[in-house]
Structures are given as C-alpha cells and as structure tokens.
Amino acid sequence: MKKGFYTALGTPLEKDGTFIPESMAAQIEQQIAAGVSGVLVMGSMGIETYLKTSEYPKVAALSAQAVHGRVPTLVGVTDVSIARVKDRIDRIGDIRGIDGVVSTIPYYNALKQEEIYRFYAAIADYAKVPVYLYDLPGVTKVAIQPDTVRRLWKHGNIGGIKSGNIVLHRVLLQAEDHPDGFVQMFSNIDIFDVAYAWGIDHNLDGMFACTPKTASALYDALGRGDKRAAARALDRILALRDLLAGTVSLLDGFSCAMNLLGCRGSFKADFEGSVAEEDRARIAAMMREMGEI
C-alpha cells in the first residue's frame, strides 16, 4: 500500500441495473495509466448499497480480473449488520485478486464505541483478507474514535482506516503503538495537498475516477515538492466536484463526467434524475479545459 492516490471507482450500470463490465475495465485502465496507487471497488462513489444482489459479485470479480494485481484492490462490503456483511464477504470469497474489504459501521442505528469494536472485530475474525475501517459519520451518524481504532489495530486482520477526519489521523499517527502495517487513508479531498505535506499521504476519493490525468499531475507535483503546482491541480478537481454537485446530484453529474471519459453507463442510484443539457455542456467544457477529454 504505497503512498499516493487511491481511487474509489464508479460502478457503470445499464438502466435496469445490470453491470457493464467493459465500461469498468476501461475505467480501470485509465486509472492504471494515471499511476493510481490502489482502487476501491464499490465504495460510496461505487454505489455498493444500491446494487442488485445479482450484480454485486460480478462487479468484484471483473474489477479484480481487470486490475490483475497491478495495484491493491479493495472491495466494499458495507451493510447494516455483522451477518449481512459476512454474507457479502461470502459472495466474493472465491474471487482472486481482492486484497482487502472495506466497511462503514452499520448506518441504520447509532452505534456506541463498544458496538463499533465488536462489529469490526467480528468481521475481521471472519474475513480471509484484511478489513479496512471506513469512518463516515455523515452517513453512519457516529464517528469512530481514536481509542476504538487503537483497540482494533491490535487485531491481526485489521489493515487500516479510511477517514476524512484529520484530527483522527493526527492522533493515530502519533500513537507510540502504531502498527507498521496499519494504513491510514485520508478522504477529505479539500485538503489533500496540505495533508500530504504533513505525511498523511494515502489519499482516497471518488473524484479521481473522472479526473485521472489531473490526479496524476497532482501527485506528481506533490512527489516533487511543488506545492503551488499541486494546489492548482487540486483546485481544478475541486472546481469540477463543485460543478457536478450543482447539477441534479453529485452522482448524476459524475455519471455525465464518466460518460465523457468514454465509460458507458449510469453511475448513480436508479431514482436520481438526469443532468440538463446546459449542465452537460458546462461539465464537458471544464473537462476539456482540464485536459481530461
């Protein structure tokens, strides 16, 4: 799990919810060409919780096959109970090329920290690959606290955490008992360049899926220590993010952007609307200016 950018891939679907494998394969090749450090399949941007049960293992299998071991491949297994997460793990259990599974805490109830510990410990006991914690309090209503993470990282099968809470990352990085192999993936894209400069250098976000060339330029600049160039590249990604979010929904705008990259299909929940033609034109203009299309 080397430092750099990790992309939460989008999941391309037909109108009836059927997975489009060739579109996912094209997206993965774009990311590999851009120098991605790893991919998350069926995370939040990959609308895992909205997918048909029949399509879920297909997405995992095709993605692992397309990546073909070139970078680490993580797969989302988020659900609302230990039993249901175990069921998702079972559905992808025989697929080769999966390097870890990622889950938020159950998002229907507001869990206590002890319940969070029991939830992840049970999943880690069950999974055959490392489990990555996903701290997403905007959805789950509860933030994972540093002491809970420190209890969990003593478990032999907890691989790391994805969180946008920079305070959490700072506390964990300073812990004297921090395991060497515990990976901290930062997900607050607005300050990726600042975080990277302070050593929080595993950065994961779904916007990289529709900005592979700009993401490559961003992390090339960060690697060179060119903070100004890095800031300019990140600002371009954030401007596109804000434009997409200003349409019917972020995921609807994201679908439009992915289509412009040549990745066919819908990348959004099936109840969402469609981007207006004028918004589509603005998205295309900005992506041309960025050099993505």
Per-residue model confidence as pLDDT tens digits over 64-87: 999 999 999 999 999 999 999 999
pLDDT (average), residues 4-29: 98
Residue % of the chain over a pLDDT of 90: 96
pLDDT in tens, 179-223: 999 999 999 999 999 999 888 999 999 999 999 999 999 999 999
Q: What is the mean pLDDT of the chain?
A: 96
Confidence of residue 139 (pLDDT cuts 50, 70, 90): very high
Q: In terms of C-beta density within 10 A (0-12 exposed, 13-18 middle, 19 or more buried), how is residue 154 classed?
A: exposed
Q: Which residues are catalytic?
A: 134, 162
Residue type, 267: F
Residue pair 70/34 in contact (Cβ under 8 Å)? The answer is no
The encoded tokens of residue 203 equal: 């950065």
The encoded tokens of residue 133 equal: 């914690």
Identify the pLDDT of residue 285: 98
User: How many other C-beta atoms can be found within 10 angstroms of the C-beta atom of residue 270?
Assistant: 12
Residue pair 238/269 in contact (Cβ under 8 Å)? The answer is no
pTM to 2 decimal places: 0.95
Rounded Cα–Cα distance for residues 248 and 233 (Å): 25
Identify the pLDDT of residue 248: 85
